[in-house]
Amino acid sequence: MDAVEALTTRVSPLRLGSESPEGAALENILNAGLRAPDHGRLRPWKFLLVRGEARIRFGTVLEEALRRREPTATERVFRAEREKPLRAPLMVVVAASIQDSKVPPIEQQLSAAAAAQNMLIAAHAQGFGGFWRTGAPSYDAYVKEALGLKPADAIVGFLYFGGVATPGPAKQPDPSGVVQEWTGNA
């Protein structure tokens, strides 16, 4: 698949399979992340790989964080939270490790988000699927600490990668209302 095809056909799979990008495929994904535009060349990124047994340990972290945020939630909800990392063979937590710089923190986060998108595209180009999740755990101090991040660091996404078990819907992008010609004429 060439780059334009990858960029114009990426879609989040509905379900991921157990095949994991490893070796050269994973290296390509991570190298694509490292190609993100980066104001000031700060490299404010952290790509944390969570796979194998570590997914179970990270599930425990997610569950504990939820117990602290919502102590009255049901056991079913706690279990669902704990099992989230098992949805895919590989999770990459993409964070912006905010540097003290004249480059505003938002731009450092945007750079990390660009890295995340590059990784999703690189996975798709190699026949793998990936989807992006955030939610309350992204902003949770307990989760950040467990991942070795600082309170000021920003988790921009939990990227789940695997084979494509159930593809997402093929979409026809609709540019209306998004793409406009600005001419400067009144």
Q: Which residue of 37, 104, 127, 135 would you call a contact of ligand FMN, by CB under 6 A?
A: 135
Kindly state the smallest distance separating residue 29's Cβ from ligand FMN, in Å: 16
By CB under 6 A, residue 157 contacts ligand FMN: yes
Q: How far apart are CA 106 and CA 112, in angstroms?
A: 10
20 touches 162 (CB < 8 A): yes
Contact segment (CB under 6 A) with ligand FMN among 37-45, 83-91, 125-133, 177-185 equals 125-133
Nearest to 22 by CA among 47, 52, 57: 52
Q: Which residue of 45, 58, 131, 161 would you call a contact of ligand FMN, by CB under 6 A?
A: 131
Q: Which residue of 6, 9, 12, 165 would you call a contact of ligand FMN, by CB under 6 A?
A: 12
Q: According to DSSP H, which parts of the chain are helical?
A: 3-9, 23-33, 54-69, 75-83, 105-125, 141-146
Cα 166 to Cα 20, 100, 118: the distances in Å are 15, 43, 22
By CB under 6 A, residue 6 contacts ligand FMN: no
Kindly state the smallest distance separating residue 10's Cβ from ligand FMN, in Å: 7
By CB under 6 A, residue 167 contacts ligand FMN: no
Nearest to 18 by CA among 127, 164, 166: 164
Query: What tokens appear for 55 in the block?
Result: 């997914």
Q: Which residue of 6, 11, 30, 42 would you call a contact of ligand FMN, by CB under 6 A?
A: 11
Q: Which residues contact 151 (CB under 8 A, 6 or more apart)?
A: 141, 144, 145
Q: Which is nearer to ligand FMN, 59 or 157 (CB)?
A: 157
Q: Count of residues binding ligand FMN (CB under 6 A)? A: 9
Which residues contact ligand FMN by CB under 6 A? 11-12, 131-135, 157, 168
